[in-house]
Amino acid sequence: MSAATPVPPGLAWRQADVFSRTPLGGNGLAVFPDARGLDAAAMQALTRELRQFESIFLTPGAHPGARRARMFTVEEELDFAGHPVLGAACVLHEALGADAPEAAWILALNAREVRVTTRRALGPRGGWYEAEMDQGAPQFGPPLTLRPGAGPDAGPGADTARALLRAQGLDEDDLAPGLPLQVVSTGLPYLLVPLRRGLERARPASADFATLLAAVGAHFCYPLDVTTREGRSFDNHGLLEDPATGSAAGPAGAYLVRHGLAEPGRPLTIRQGRFVHRPSEIRVRVEGPPEAPERVLVGGEVAMAARGVFD
């Protein structure tokens, strides 16, 4: 790190594994409980040093249950992400000690505040935490449809949809019949790609994949097998696969409810991480009518895995 981005001696971090009740599963996360004195360049450098999919940096808020939070991937700062919010809240809960079975938190992100509830859980082999966040009302983009056949019979957005499929090793036959590609956001816009097969092949493989996504208003892509409710998520270069993506699971749940594949108000489980040997389960509940969901709740289990201090 350069002299322009110093790290205070003794800077502590906590490793949490989100969407798993046991360490070394789910999605790893580096949490910096007290990031006062760090600028964005230092936060970015620390994230690259630890090489987690994301890191989150906390500073004190207006009251004991509030924190300012900034989140980074190895490439960029994010305005919203799911598993860092859940993991950070559980690290804060851990610091309260054994006398606090439940807690509530408000994390102020770059563009919004997120409310999180946490609970300490105990099992025969130790303990873990359970966390749930309110992601708010989902926003839906226009559907990208593909009618049977090609050429003049193609539906609105068909050429764009085909280009997006080809750019991740998929074709029209992989799509679930009758369902459109659609951008859905609960804070970070994802292109939902409903599949009936081919999830094992779904991976960004085009140099202009980010540009294709931006053209439809998406930041990332989330291929989803709508039968097994299993998804995958990558960086837009296709180099790094995310074991579990809370910011995508909320939109995925909203998509399933919107298109009649899940019932509003009933919990559903999105599975992820099988292909990177870190199986994860993300709980989603969508409230409100399917045509206009009012809020999406996303949660899961969190295990504490390690701790460290920078010299």
Per-residue pLDDT tens over the stretch 237-283: 999 899 999 999 999 999 999 999 999 999 999 999 999 999 999 99
Residues 6+ apart with CB under 8 A from 116: 85, 86, 89, 104, 105, 106, 107, 131, 132, 133, 134
Q: What is the pLDDT of residues 197-215, one digit of tens each?
A: 999 999 999 999 999 999 9
Q: What is the pLDDT of residues 117-131, one digit of tens each?
A: 999 998 666 689 999
Confidence (pLDDT) at 126:
66
Written as six digits, the tokens of 134 are: 């309110």
Confidence (pLDDT) at 153:
45
- Report the pLDDT averaged over residues 221-225: 98
Beta bridge partners of 162: none
11-134+301-310 and 139-293 share one fold? yes
Domain 11-134+301-310 = CATH 3.10.310.10: yes
- Give pTM, 2 decimals: 0.89
Kindly list the domain boundaries of the chain, sorted by start residue. Answer: 11-134+301-310, 139-293
Residues 6+ apart with CB under 8 A from 190: 183, 184, 218, 219, 220, 221, 222, 247, 248, 251, 252
Say which CATH topology domain 139-293 has.
Answer: Diaminopimelate Epimerase; Chain A, domain 1 (3.10.310)
Q: What is the pLDDT of residues 77-86, one digit of tens each?
A: 999 989 999 9
In DSSP notation, 92-147 reads HHHHH-TT-SEEEEEEE-SS-EEEEEEEEEEETTEEEEEEEEE----EEPPPB---
For residue 67, give Cα distances in angstroms to 107, 109, 258: 5, 9, 33
Residues 6+ apart with CB under 8 A from 65: 103, 104, 105, 106
- Torsion sign (Cα): 24, 242, 67, 308: positive
